[in-house]
Structure formats: structure tokens, C-alpha cells
Amino acid sequence: MSAAEHAFVATVPRGLADLLARELASCGAQDARERGLSVIFSGTLETGYRACLWSRTASRVLLQLTEFEAANSDQFHARVQAFDWSAHIDPARSIACEFTGSHPTITHSHYGALRLKDGICDRLREDTGTRPDVEPSRPAVRLHAHANGTHVTLSLDLAGEGLHRRGYRTEAGEAPLRENLAAGVLLRAHWPEAAERSAEFLDPMCGSGTLVIEAAMIAARRAPGLQREYFGFLGWKGHDAALWQHLKTEARERALPAVASVIRGSDIDQRALTIAAANAQRAGVTALIRFEHRPAASVRPLTDAPGLICTNPPYGERLGDDTQARSVFAELGRNLREHFAGWDAAILSAGQESARELRLRSYRVHELWNGAIAVRLLRIDLGAPGAEDVEVRRQQQQAEAAASPGAQMFANRLGKNLKRLARLAQRAQVSCYRLYDADMPEYSFAIDRYAAAATDEVHLHVQEYAAPASVDVDAARRRRREALSSLPRVLQIPPERIHLRLRRRQSGSEQYQRQPATPAAATPASSGEQRTLTVEEGGLRFLVNLDDYLDTGLFLDQRLTRARLRERARGARFLNLFCYTASATVYAASGGARSTLSVDLSNSYLDWAAQNFKLNGLDCAQHRLERADCFAWLREAVQRRANGAPVFDLIFLDPPTFSNSKRMQGVLDVQRDHPELIELCMQLLAPGGLLLFSTNAQRFRPEPALAQRWQVRDISAQTLPFDFERNPRIHCCFEIGAAQN
């Protein structure tokens, strides 16, 4: 058996990627990473075969053959033709080709598939004198090209056709539930765990029996791919027939001949039940299932023990009548409320109007797709849980999240970061620093560590970057739970000291306002709780607020910038524009500034600045705070200077990237407006003085004309702290002085 490592991609219905990642890990997959509608992973050929045989949720499993850059269709054809296809394809047999993704010049998938086919056939004709036939349905080998811009990956489709085709369903009812989606629903509803404790299973509207059959296969530990006659690797020249036979024999031996659970399906439609029974026979689970001809309203539990009801009721698309669909849901809900107390329910619904007719509250809702139909999986506890039950369920959800492959990878990365950064922080005598900044794209968080001054108390400020619209909402919530479940364990910080915020683009005066609590915040502060924390940096003390505002009051990435200002401040008249909470002013004052003036538009931030001054014993007569629109203030200050107004020896200019606050005159755009801001500041600068300009605009480019007029020195790299080295674009920083003659 070959032990060579391969790269794989497994595709999956929307909303089930986490379940697939868990399945792949049990098949031996390494480094499984979710990508929306797919999971990428590595492993041996045995891993790929096991995924095809055992995954209940995967749609396809692709084995990567090669990757290359192709700027246009001719380059794409040439790169395909350059690959040695004779090692994979017998030209006497058939192929099929597919093209997906987004390419700058290959804009039609059919055209991309034709160019892929041409490249393969041209190479095989050169090498062997013959070329394979094209067979769209069940070819010997199916090849797949995926473009991400000009980067193209060529893969072999090990499945050959959708893995949802288990081989047992030759006939189905209207709007049938795909087998892998049905399995995903059962896994979401924790049916494997319920089956282990011999719980009863019931689908009161089973139709052609897909949910019931998949439930029986799970309970009996039957490999979902064992009944399939066709796989895409069977005609591949690299196929290891002995390995495949070994895995199938192993799967047959693992299957249970009987199960303790009672697994039932019922329906009012006798024709549907006839189809369901035939499907169950082909799946080899007839002995494990009871089918009953009866309306959903008359179904009752067989035992007193709680079980699982899982069903896909006929909704509007299937019935063609929303009124009838609502009636079906109302009847189902009435029966569940009256006769199934203590059971769990997992119910698929295509519309909220029908779901409301259940008159049951779901504790979890998952967004899924059944083909082209968007559906919602409602998970319902049919008991009447008290506070203890709710807490138990919460703990179960946390344990489930912590045990997932994604949470384990996130925890490993966090642990490595902590080991490295804690050592650097100790060396630099820093107690507040960034631990993680979207190191893994799937877990898009910025995690900062704040230590309370003169205590052992440590808090985490966790900012979740808002997911784009293309990211599944349920997947984003799940990743949040996985990340939050890892933090207390890895960092040894109690949950009540973990503060979660959602970071999205602010507009107008939002940046100055208290922010609403994030729905999944680890520990929302109570109304009477102390919401501020005093921390130390550079021998100074600052007030931070980890709950109420988007930013905490202390920009950690500007730590070295503040230290630089302190070094230059002795005897200087210091001006801090867009001063925020005036932490830079506190540094300048501690460096011996003769006087300071800090200007900002927000009363909230100026009050905060006053508290920072008080913490560090600064006299407000010498260190003044002024509320003003900084742009307007600068223009007026330049006019006053003509009348002999004081000038400044050191200026710190750190404007927001964008602001359209109603209290401002106009709109501030730092890329557009920085030349005028800098020009005005330079007119207020004393001879030999220095302007330090900083911005967090990610795509900032300084106006070239500035360097012709002033001495401009880019010090961005010198002001990048050790904990932000992975994100060198966190800010740009420039020292600007008068040009030398």
C-alpha cells in the first residue's frame, strides 16, 4: 500500500463543511481546512479511498494532480498538454472533463472543459497515437480543472459522480432529499449518539425513505459507499485494487447485522411507502426498519424513553400550495406537543410561515440547501427544560465545539503563538499585546491580551471580523463557538474575562458610540459591573474599556510610535491631533514635553483622556484638552499663527481612515486629504520641529509631491511591534521635517 502523501479537496452541500471535516479526520485526513462548500486536506491514497467509502456528507472527493499559472486559454491548453497523462489515463477508455471557478479569460465552464479535454487528448495522441473517447456519464476517468484567477488546479475525481448516489435509490418522490444532505441532518441532530443509547427514531412523513434509510445505515455502522458499483478511481491507472478490496472487506466486517434502536418511517402515501421499502431492500437495511401506512397525526411513540423525530415535511415547493403546507406543519406540531414530550426533533422547513405553524421553539437553526431550494433545519427540544437543562445543553454545545477538528487546529495555533509571544513580551516588559490576528483565515479574529495593572488578572479582547456575505451564517457562528471554546482552555483565562466584539466598518459618529453587545459574546457585562480596566505600558497607566466601544482606548500597534514620541518630546511644545484617548500625549508628557495640546471631536474620548491624565498625575493646566473638528481647527490655527499664535515643536497626526461624522465640516478621507492635513501641520511647526504622521489605512500611498517639499522618512517598519510582525500593513508611519537647503 502506497504511503505517498496527496492533496485532496472534498466538496459538500452548503452548511455541512464542519461535519465533513470531522468525518475526514476519522478517515485519516491531515490538516483538514474548511472552504465554504469544500474541505481541503492531505493524506495517503488510503485516506482518499476511505473518504469515498465512509463519508456520509461529501459530494465529491478530488485528488490533486498538478497546478499551474495560465493567463489565457492558450496557456491553459499548453499547460494541460504538458502534463504526463499517460500515467493516469488509458487512451483506450473514456474520460469526462469539468471546469469550475473564475478565470479572467475562460469565462464559460463548457469552454474550459473543452480546452481541458483538447489538452489531454492532444498529449495522449502524441504519446500513444490514440486518444480516449468522451463519455459524460460514468467515464473511466473524470478530470476536473478549477481556476482561482490565473491559478489552475487539475484533479482526478475519485468519486466519478456524486457520492450522494449510494446505489439504493432508483426512484424517489417529489423534491427528494439528497442522501448526503439527509445524513448531514441526522449528524446535526446527534442521531449517532442517540443510536448508541438505543433511542427510538421516527420519520412521520418519510416519503421515499431517505432519512429512515440513512438513519438505519448510521445505526448499523454501514459504510454509505459500500453498495456503490461505480467510482471514478476504478478506471484510473493509479488505482490500487488490493487496497480498495481490503477497505471494502473491513467495512463489511464493521457493519452490524442488527440494531437495538427501533427505526420507523410512516407516511399517508402508500405509493411512497412502496418506493421506500424497495429502496431499503437495495440498501440492505430492510430488517432494521419498520414502515407504517398512517397519517402523521396518528403516529405515537412506542416506548416511554425519549427518541428522535427527524422529518422533511412536504412544504410549498412540494405541495404547490402554501396553505396546505401550513396545515401540514400545524398538524405535525400539535402531535409533537401532545404526545412526544421529552423527545428531540429535527425538522426541515423551506419557509418561516410554515415553520411558525409548529408552535414550537427551536434552540438551533441551520441554513442548508436541498438542491436549489434553501431550507432551514429546526432543532427542537420537545421537553420543557429548566435552567439546569439549558446549562447542560450549553455545556454540551461547548464540548462539541471544542472537540471539532477546526477547534483543535485553532487551539494548536493559539498555543504556539502564546509560547512565542509571551517570551518576547517578557523580554520587552510588555503586558498588553496581540496574540492572534486571523492567522487562520477561517477563524477571522483579532485576539488581544490585557493584563490589569499591579494584579495577576488577565483579560482577552476578541474582535471578530464581520464575515462577507458569501460565508454561510451558520458556519460563521460555529467557528465563533469553536474559537471561544478554545480560549479558556489554551490561555487559562476564565470565560468571564473574555470580551467579544464584532468588527465591521463604522460610519458617521458610530465610532464614537457605545456598541451593542455581540449576540454570542462570551460574558456580557452586567449593568452594575465595572467596565473599565487599568493597564500598564511603558511605565505609564491607561484606562481601557473592553466592552462598550469597538476599540479599547489603547491602540496596541502604536506602542513603538508612542515610545518614539516620548524620546523626542523633551522641552517640546506638543500637539496631538485626532488624539482619541490621548495615550500619545501621556507618553510625550512623561518624556518632558514643556506643554501639550490634544484635540478631538468626541467628548467621550476627551473625558477618557482626562482620566488617563489623572492616572498619570498630569496637570490639565499644562496639558490641555480641546474639543474641535481637527481639520477646521488646523485651518483656524494657521490663520491665528499669522497673528503671532504659538507654534509647536512636535506634532502627532493620526487621522481616521474615513469619517463622515455629522459634527464634522464635510467628509474626511485620509488618502485624499492627507496632503492638506500635512501642509497645515507643517505651517504650525517651529524651525527644527518634527511631524509624525500615522494612518491605519490598509492601501495608503503618500502623495509623491510631499517628498519634494519636505523631508519625508518612512518609519513604518521601525514602529511595528513584535506582536504585529505578521501584519506589516497594520499602520503606516512617517517622520516629516522641513527640507534642508
- Domains of the chain plus CATH, in order, are 6-157 (3.30.2130.30), 179-221+256-384 (3.40.50.150), 407-532 (3.30.750.80), 555-738 (3.40.50.150)
H helix and E strand count, the chain: 21, 30
Q: Do the beta carbons of residue 498 and residue 462 sit within 8 Å?
A: yes
Dmax over CA atoms of the chain, in Å, equals 99
Q: What is the pLDDT of residue 529?
A: 44
Q: What is the pLDDT of residue 525?
A: 36
Neighbours of 419 (CB within 10 A): 9
Q: What is the pLDDT of residue 436?
A: 96
**Residue ranges in the chain modelled with pLDDT below 50:** 1-2, 316-320, 384-388, 505-530
> Looking at this protein, which amino acid is placed at residue 460?
L
Buried residues in 439-470 as b, exposed as e (16+ CB within 10 A): bbebbbbbbbbbbbbeeeebbbbbbbeebeee
> Looking at this protein, which amino acid is placed at residue 463?
Q
Q: Do the beta carbons of residue 585 and residue 576 sit within 8 Å?
A: yes
Q: What is the pLDDT of residue 170?
A: 79
Angle between helices 179-188 and 17-26 (to 10 degrees): 90
- Distance between CA atoms of 142 and 117, rounded to whole angstroms? 10
Q: What is the pLDDT of residue 174?
A: 58
Position of cell 422533511?
A: 312
| Close Cβ partners of 210 (under 8 Å, ≥ 6 residues apart) | 169, 172, 176, 177, 178, 179, 182, 279, 312
Bridge partners of 459? 450
- Distance between CA atoms of 391 and 27, rounded to whole angstroms? 33
> Looking at this protein, which amino acid is placed at residue 145?
A
Pairing of the two strands 498-503 and 458-465: parallel
pTM over 0.85: no
- Distance between CA atoms of 533 and 543, rounded to whole angstroms? 6
Q: Do the beta carbons of residue 226 and residue 53 sit within 8 Å?
A: yes
Q: What is the pLDDT of residue 520?
A: 38
Phi-psi region of 592 (alpha: psi -120 to 50; beta: other; left: phi over 0): left
Q: What is the pLDDT of residue 110?
A: 96
What cell was used for 414? 493559539
- Distance between CA atoms of 79 and 68, rounded to whole angstroms? 7
Of residues 16, 443, 23, the one with CA closest to residue 8: 23
